[in-house]
Each structure stands twice: as structure tokens, then as C-alpha cells.
Chains A and B, each alone.
Chain A
Amino acid sequence: MSEPIIRAQQVEKFYAHPSENRIQVISPTDLSIVPGEIVALLGPSGSGKSTLLRMLAGLSRPSGGEVLWHGQPISKVQINVSIVFQSFALFPWLTVLENVEAPLVARGLDPEERRHRSLKILDTVGLDGFEAAYPKELSGGMRQRVGFARALVVEPEVLFMDEPFSALDVLTAENLRSELMELWHKKTIPTQSIFLVTHNIEEAVLLADRIIVLGRNPGHVRTDFKVTALAHPRDRKSQAFTQLVDYIYKVLTRPDVAPAAMPTLAPGRKIRDQRQMRYEMLPHARPGGIAGLLELIIDLTGRDGSGRADIYRLADELGFEIDDLFPIVDAAVLLGFLRVEEGDAVITPAGLLFAESEILKQKEIFRQAAVEHVLLLRQITRALNNKNDHTVPQEFFLDMLDEQFSEEETERQLETAINWGRYSELFDFDAGRRRFILPETEEAAPSVEETE
């Protein structure tokens, strides 16, 4: 094996918190990028993919551990990397040519040399004739080509890509991917290695020589393996391809079980389990979305069928990215409406009842499930019932959640809780006074003691 270009040793990221508690975003991780391979980093949202990429690219300093560039600390040497961004990050006030020239200006190159190299790379990515256009005149796909040209014009040793295709439509993305692979395999570009962050499993299997899957809470490497069985260009229909996609789906959908038969990088590392925390993380899904998903599963499998659907197929059916589907599945699992087995979603009796009921009954079932399974909702309801004026300030719960989640996540957690609480008529929220209140009708909020 050749010398790694970038090696991360026990890098971790956490945010210090006033109350001694620190919020761990990424637990200590080892990782290296060696010449000649495309590495894909997969993981659910909140697993710190982008943070890890930024630490490897030298943009963000790890809280602990070290990143080495050819054996030297990355902060002390001149490194040669580029990033292709999800949002393209082009300067809208510069023309295509000026955008591509900008990194060369920063390196102090002569104007003629700059122009020559920029025109050549624009030619390579197929932007001939667009030199004088402004980015806002171009389509999304063309803009990302400018993004690629700007990243490649400095001839980076490692090319980082942060979800480069996810802002594009399916066809454009496919087209750009295959052109990128052509450049890479024909060695048109002198880039030694590509590091790709994505949440699209097929994309990872299509492009990568090595795939790393991250888990969350906090981010950690769940599995890291080489894709050896598939030759380029890869065929999405081949059995090996679909098997690999299925395998990764299973890893992603079973966060609690160690992936079988694939080696982890650092076995035996202690990872903070989510269940040890006081609050489970509320998945950001709407009650209507949960009901919709359950109904779809029933429709797909037939009423008297097993109620078992492949999550991968579900996402496909809905035209969802798997990342968008996960929160809804997670929420349904949390409420006891769904079980996940081997990458399949299995509907539970409670879930069947919920999906088949009419709206008022649905709210009733949701209310019971929420109070039973969700600690935060239970606490809010109990606090409201115990207070004489039946109102509780939002800050009270913000402070409790703060101990465990980042500031932003705390806000989102409460937002979801309010959403669920309002739907199930457990409580209402007065946005003006920022207080939780009991809804007007008395019987809407059942006493919590009964359900427990």
C-alpha cells in the first residue's frame, strides 16, 4: 500500500459547553486517503460527514487528534487540495473565467499563464464558449461544471467533494458523474485522490473504490471497506451492485447493530450510546408524514399481507432521498408504529390501527403513543397539568435539552415536540409569549398518570 496523502489520527470534534458537558460531534477517528482511489463517505444527516471533510481539508481544526499531510501536520505546510461544494459557492459577480482564475490569482501566477490554464480546464469540463458568462446566466449543471473547473484548475492532489451532485436534477447529476469518471479513469486530470461526501448510496457505489459509512450521535466510522468486486464502468443492474447497495442500506437502517462481515477501523472503541442519554433524539418528522408513510406501506403490501416493505424501495417509490425518509421511519419506530428488520420496515398492530383510523381517532392513538414513548412530551404534559395556571415557559425545557444537544438541535427538538404536541392536542404553544399552554378544551389533555 502506498503512503497516504492525508492521514487523520484520532481526530475528533466537540463543542465546549458552559455546563461542563461537551457536545461530541465526531468521536476520535482514524482515516487515511491514499493515492489512486476515490473514497466515498456515507452517513445519515447529523453524522458529521461535512465536518470530517472540512477537518481533512484543513478548513476546520480538529478539537483533538491530528491531521497529517504527507506525514507533516496539516496546519504547518502548504497543502494542495480543492473542494467542490454542494451550493457551488461561485462568486456571482465574477464571470466564469474570472471565477476559475481566482485561485490562480491567489497563487500569484502571471496573467498569460492564468488565462492559458483556465481556458484549458474550461475546455476539459465542457464550458468552451461560456468564459464571459456570469454564473446566474447558467443552469445548475453548468454552474457545477464551473465549480469543478475552479477546483481542478489548481491541479489538486486531493479533490474533496461535498455532496456535489445533490443540488442537481437526476439527469444532470448522472451526466456530470459519468464525465467526472471519464476524466478520472483516463487520467486527464492529475488529481491523485478524490474524497466524496454523499448521502446517496447508489452514487457512492457507482463511483467509489472505497466506502466509509458513518454513524451518528456522535459521528463515528461504522464500516470502511474497499469495493473490489465491481469493475468500472459499473452497471446499476448487476447483481453485485444491488447486493452492495442493499448491504449499505442495512448498515444504515440498523444503527444499533454492528455491521456484519465488514471490518471496522477501530474495533472495541467505546461509542456513546444514544440510549444512555436522558432524551432520545426526536426525528424531525411531521405526524401527517408518519401517517402517510404507514398508509403507503399498507398500500404497497396489501391489507392482509405481511406489512413488510423494503425501505430502499419505499424511498424509490416516493422519489425521496433516503435522508429524507429516515426521520419519518425513525419517528414511526419511536412511536411503536413500525419495526425495522434487515432493511425492511414492518408495520406493527398499533401502526395498522393508526393508519386505518379516521382523523380524531388517529390523534387519540398518536397522543397515547407519544405520551408513552416520548419522554419530552410526557414531561411537558405533566408540567402543564401540575401547574396552577397551566402554562410553562419554553426556556424551562430549553435548559433541560441544552445539556444534551447543540443549541441549534435544541431548537429543532422543541420545534418538533411542539408540532407533535399540537397535532395530538396534548398541549399548545403560544409563540408570542414563548410558553407552552394547555389547549382550551379540558378533555383534550388526558391525565398522564392514567396512561403510565
Chain B
Amino acid sequence: MSVRHTFSREFIVERTWPFVLDLSIAAALLAAFYAIIWIARFWFSSAIPEVIIQRSPSHLPLYAFYSTVRIFIAYIISLVFAIAYGYIAAYNRRVEALMVATLDILQSIPVLSFLPGVMLAMMSLFPSRQIGIELGAILLIFTGEVWNMAFSFYSSIKSIPRELHEACTINRFSAVQRLFQLELPYAAIGLVWNSMVSVANGWFFLIVCEMFPVGSRNFRLPGLGSYLQTAASNGDTHALIYGLITMVLIIVLTDQLLWRPLIAWSDKFKFENVESADRIQSPILHILRNSNVLRYMHRRTFEPLGEGVYRYFARRQDHYVAKKEEARRPARRRSVTLVMLFAGIGVFTAIAVAAFHAALLLRHIQTHQVISLLEGAGATFLRVNISLLLASLWAIPVGVAIGFNPRIAHFTQPLAQIAASFPATALFPVLLLALMNRGLGLGIGSIALMMLAAQWYILFNVIAGAMAIPSDLKEVASLFRFRSLQRWTTVILPGIFPFLITGLVTASGGAWNASIVAEYFHIQGKTLTTLGLGAQISAASDRGDFPTLLLATIIMALMVVTVNRLVWRPLYRLAETKYRLD
């Protein structure tokens, strides 16, 4: 029996706190329920051909809400898909190499070039409903979010220690129990960090896909992205500022309400045997953990459900073992193999036919078009590298300065993290308006836009790298009075190298993706454009010129994959071997 502190003050606090907590959580649950109904009503209404985007700030909360819902639905689909993909790739020897190579290529294909095709397909699937356009947008965001998560889950599974696997086998864990007690927990930390990157990517694309023309048709989804673009087109600075503030608010709230609690929670999945001293604290997680309502709900729903699932699979396994003895198993296995074979042949034929049709499309392209595409590719390649170089020039010294000063790093690192997850596409209209006022063209402007998309990754990683340099190395440098050049070449640059490479790889991906938006822009009724592959892709999708779109996309994907193979991968290997600090 616990002691009763009848008149103790703590007792009253203990009793009132959970009550307040429970009230707020109940309110949150009600709100979630209401939100679901709202979204459903909107989505299943008939399609709205051309949504009028209101520029008054009073509409902003609703727009922000629609955009956020799109992001998170896409995120949840990505999560499920990533786990399934990573799981199959890790456990099926036969398809593993193929699936990992596919991941590598899909990761480098510019998502935005799919936009027109996907939209038209989804519209024809749900001809009369709003849900068609919505699903199109969600599908696009999904393709921007999913690959890094799938890769993270795959590599986590591959690195599970052998003895943990053996412990599962010897104790006869079913696949479901193994998933929930071994694989998911082991992969949790990687998944959480990659989720943050993914959602940031999602915003980047969403801002663009909420409003775009394909041929003569103009698609618009009510949301934050379309609001920002409408405001920019009309030169409405006030609306632009309101929109940007809302964006910042969403990013900060997501960080505080979702990521921080998740990071704090995932701390228990750290696979290390010592308790670490500095942990991220999250008041939200504290509330969730101490809520009676949630605990009650958990006890009534998830616990019995989990119980039932585990027991079902445990029983099934018993049957399975018993059945093994019987002679009819080989026959069943044969039929399964047969079905798999037919399915494989079917999928293969479908891919082959689609590829053939796509190749047929390319017939329509003339030589001069190919040449101009190649010129554009060269221009974009140059622009991407210049923007990376410029971004590195300021981000490396600043990042090192911040990283070497723990007091500054303490509050700038979360800021850099938020800046990195702020979608650059939301700032494009603002930046463009400023550039146009100065009379600068898109030729230089697009470089600035790409930098905007790329620089934060570099800064963020350099700060982390500078913080990871052991202080004794820095002490050696001061002890022997290294000049600043020597200090940079022998201590700082090698020390941050692995982090810098990670940052540059991500930044280069961001810059390539940004090129599609940055080189071609509709603003104030005008179309700004410059020579570049990105502009050619955007223009082709504007005209509904699918052959050019296809070829341009293929060229871009090939360039990105080639650069990854020839430049980044060797550098990565170097970072992992020669410049590892441990």
C-alpha cells in the first residue's frame, strides 16, 4: 500500500495535473475527429475546376490546414511503403541488389517532372471528384518523401547484430513479433531523423504542386502554396508576409509538437548499453506519457489488439510446424512458386510495354531539340555547381565558427534545423520580386534560388561536424601555434569532411530539384525563363509536350546518377575510411 499524504500539497497537484492534461488531450482528440470529417467532406465533393484563392489572411488557417493534411497523409503512406520496401529488400536475397539499385535511381529522378503525367492520370481515375487532384498532389509529395526513408530502414535491418536475430529465432518469434520487438525499434532512430528530412522535402514540392498549368488547364488546390503563389503573382506583399509567417509557424509547431517528442521518445531505442547524459527533453512527450485518458485508451485498444495478433501468429506457427510433416506441402510450394512466376512475368511485361511506348514517344524528338536539351543540361550543371560552391563559401566558415563555440551552437543549431526544413520554394516568389525590382534576370536569379534550396544542408552538417571534432585535436593546434591555413588544412577540413560530404550530397540533390522551379517562373502574369534543363522540363510540362518532358527527365536523372556514382560515392568512401573520427 502506498502512503496517503492526506493534506500534503503535492497530493493536490498530483490530482489536478492529470485532470488538466486529460482535458487538453480530450480536446485534441475531438479536434482531430472534426478535422477528419472536414477533410472528407471537402475531398469527396465534386471537383472544383478552378479554385479561387482568397488573399485575405482570414483564409490562411484553412489553407494551412489543407496543406498540412496533404503533407502528413503523404508522409504516412511513405512510411508504410518505406518499411515494406526496406523489409523485402533486406530479406529477399534474390531481389535485394535490384531493389537497392532501383532506390538509388528513383532517389535521383527529379520529382517535379512527373507532375503533369501524375495529375492527368489521377484526374482520369476520379473524374468527378476533388479527391483525384488531391491524390495526385499527395502521390507527388510521396515520391519526394519515400526513398531516403526506405533506404534508412533497409540499412538499419541489415545492421542488426546477429545475436539479436538468433535470440528471436531460438525463441520462435513470429515475423510480426520480430517486426515490432526487433526491427522497428532498431530502425526507429534512423526513421525519425529521415522523417524530418522527408517532410521538409514534402513541403518543398507541395508549395509547387498546389498550383500549376498543364497545357491549357490550370490546376489549383486550396493551400498554402497556392496562396503564396497567388500573392506573388498579384504583387501583394502583405499577403506574402502573412503566408510566410504561417509557414514558419507550421514548421516551428511541427518541430515542437511532433519531432522533438519523437526524438525524445526514440531515445529509448538507442542501441547502446550506457545511459547517455544529455537527452532532448520534450514537455509534450511528458504530457502524453502521463495522460490517464491515453493510458486508458492504450490499455483498452492496443494492448488487447497486440495480444490477439501475437497469439494468432503464435498459433499459426504451431499449425505450420505440425503441417510440415504432411506430404502436401511441396505441392503447395510449387503452386506458390508458379503464381509468383506468373506475377513476375506479368509485371515484367507491363514494364516492358510501358517502356516501349515511352521509347516510341521519343521518336518525335528532332535532333536540334536534343542539342538544345544538352545545352540546357550543361547550363544547369554549371549553375548547380556554382550554387554549391557559393553556398559552401559562406556556410563552411560560418558553420565552423558556430560549431566551435558551444554557447552559440546551443541556440543556433535548432534554428539552422528549422531553416533547413523551411521550404525554399516558399521563398522563391519573394526573392524573385526583389530581383526583378533590381532589374536582375533569372540567369543569375536562378543561382540564388538554388543556393536558397541548398545552403542550409551544408550549414547544418558543418555545424554538426565542427562540434564533433575532439577538443584535444583543437588543443594540439593551439599548442603548436598552427597558422590559420595549417589549422584549416590539418584539423578543421579533415575533421568536418564526412559531415561536409553528407551536406554536399543532400545540397546537390536539393539544387537539382530546385532547378526545375528556379529556371522557369510565372510571376505577375509574366513567364521568366533562362537557358537550362530545368526550364526546359517546366516549359515542356506547361505545353503538355510529353516527348520533350520525358527526354529531359531522362537526361537529368542520368546526370544526377552519373555524378553520384563518379563523384559523391568515392568521396563518401573516403570519408568513411580515411577521415573517420572514432
Residues of A near any B CB (own CB < 8 A): 54, 57-59, 76-78, 81-83, 85-87, 89, 91-94, 102-103, 105-108, 111, 134-137, 143, 150, 154, 431-432
Contacts and interface: CB of A to CB of B under 8 A. Distances in A.
A136 B273 contact: yes
Interface string B297-337: 00000000001001100110010010011000000000000
Interface stretch (B162-170, B347-355, B447-455, B488-496): B162-170
A92 B169 CA distance: 18
A83 B273 contact: no
Contacts of A150: 167, 171
Given A105-B310, A105-B314, A92 B163 contact: no
A77 B166 CA distance: 18
**Which of A93, A94, A102, A143 has the most C-beta atoms of chain B within 10 angstroms of its own C-beta?**
A93
Contact of A108 (B161, B310, B321): B310
B272 A136 contact: yes
A106 B174 contact: yes
A105 B303 CA distance: 12
A108 B166 contact: no
A93 B171 CA distance: 18
Interface residues of B, number: 34
A432 B570 CA distance: 12
A92 B273 contact: yes
22 contacts: A57-B170, A59-B169, A59-B170, A76-B325, A85-B163, A87-B161, A89-B161, A92-B269, A92-B272, A102-B171, A102-B177, A105-B314, A106-B172, A106-B310, A106-B314, A107-B314, A108-B311, A108-B314, A108-B318, A111-B307, A150-B171, A431-B578
B173 interface: yes
A89 B182 contact: no
Contacts of A154: 171
Contacts of A103: 171-172
A135 B170 contact: no
Contacts of B318: 78, 108
Contacts of B170: 57-59, 81-83
A85 B165 CA distance: 12
A76 B324 contact: yes
A85 B315 CA distance: 27
Contact of B270 (A58, A92, A431): A92
Given A92-B269, A93-B185, 13 more contacts: A76-B324, A85-B166, A85-B167, A89-B161, A89-B166, A91-B181, A92-B272, A105-B177, A105-B310, A106-B171, A106-B174, A108-B314, A134-B268
A160 to B, nearest CB: 8
Shortest Cβ-Cβ A-B pairs, 10 listed: A108-B314, A103-B171, A89-B163, A89-B167, A93-B185, A108-B311, A85-B163, A106-B173, A106-B172, A93-B269
A94 B271 CA distance: 12
What does DSSP make chain B's interface, helix, strand, loop or mixed?
Answer: helix
Nearest to A143: B273
Nearest to A111: B307
A77 B323 CA distance: 10
Interface of A, secondary structure class, is loop
Nearest to A57: B170
Contacts of A82: 170-171
Nearest to B163: A89
B270 A102 contact: no
A89 B171 contact: no
Interface string B270-310: 11111100000000000000000000000000000001001
Nearest to A77: B321
Contacts of B324: 76
B175 to A, nearest CB: 11
Contacts of B314: 105-108
Contact of A83 (B166, B275, B307): B166
Contacts of A54: 166
Interface string B355-396: 000000000000000000000000000000000000000000
Nearest to A93: B185
B164 A89 contact: yes
Nearest to A91: B181
A138 to B, nearest CB: 9
Contacts of A137: 275
Nearest to A58: B170
Contacts of A89: 161, 163-164, 166-167
Contacts of A431: 578
A73 B315 CA distance: 22
